[in-house]
Amino acid sequence: MIKGAAWMFQDNIDTDMIYPARFMNTADAAEMGTHCMEDYDPEFTKKIHKGDIIVAGKNFGCGSSREHAPISLRAAGIDCVIAKSFARIFYRNAINTGLPILECPEAVDDCSPGDEFSIDYTTGEIVNETLGKSYQTIAFPEFIQKIMDKGGLISYIDSGRE
């Protein structure tokens, strides 16, 4: 179960906005997390709390195919992204890096900044605790749940696919 406060973003947030290209010279996840959403809001990582979630419009994660974007979100403390839609390569990179992402336009439309959410990606249930309203989206298939539970594809492979 994921629980956290919502941070709202509009449509077409690209990977350069999530993780600026000028910081591509590091592979250290903790360092990457300090630059998450820096060009959108330079104080973003100082405002969020571990476990918070991003709620966004359409085409979240568009742009380049680098996996640095979902890594930086996780490293910054974001536990989940709910959006109306995701760019396909970002969707796969998020799974590969262990960042749960769910498409649920209704939850996005009803959300206000700071709303508290509970999310169960194993069932696809999203609850806006602030509104007392539940939403149902497609749950991750079992093999993706296992990847998420291990923290990403590499950890899943290294664990022997238990």
Structural domains of the chain ordered from first start: 2-156 (3.20.19.10)
- The percentage of the chain sitting over the pLDDT mark of 70, rounded to a whole number, equals 99
Is pLDDT above 90 for 162? no
Secondary structure E strands in 97-158: 101-103, 116-120, 125-128, 133-136
Are the C-beta atoms of residues 97 and 73 closer than 8 Å to each other?
no
Mean pLDDT, the chain, rounded, equals 94
For the chain, give percent helix, strand, coil, nearest 5.
35, 20, 45
Is pLDDT above 90 for 27? no
Are the C-beta atoms of residues 54 and 81 closer than 8 Å to each other?
yes
pTM of the model: 0.93
Is pLDDT above 90 for 42? yes
Q: Check residue 103 and give left, alpha or beta (phi > 0: left; psi -120 to 50: alpha).
A: beta
Tell me what the mean pLDDT of segment 113-117 comes to: 97
The pLDDT, as a whole number, for residue 65 is 81
Is pLDDT above 70 for 17? yes
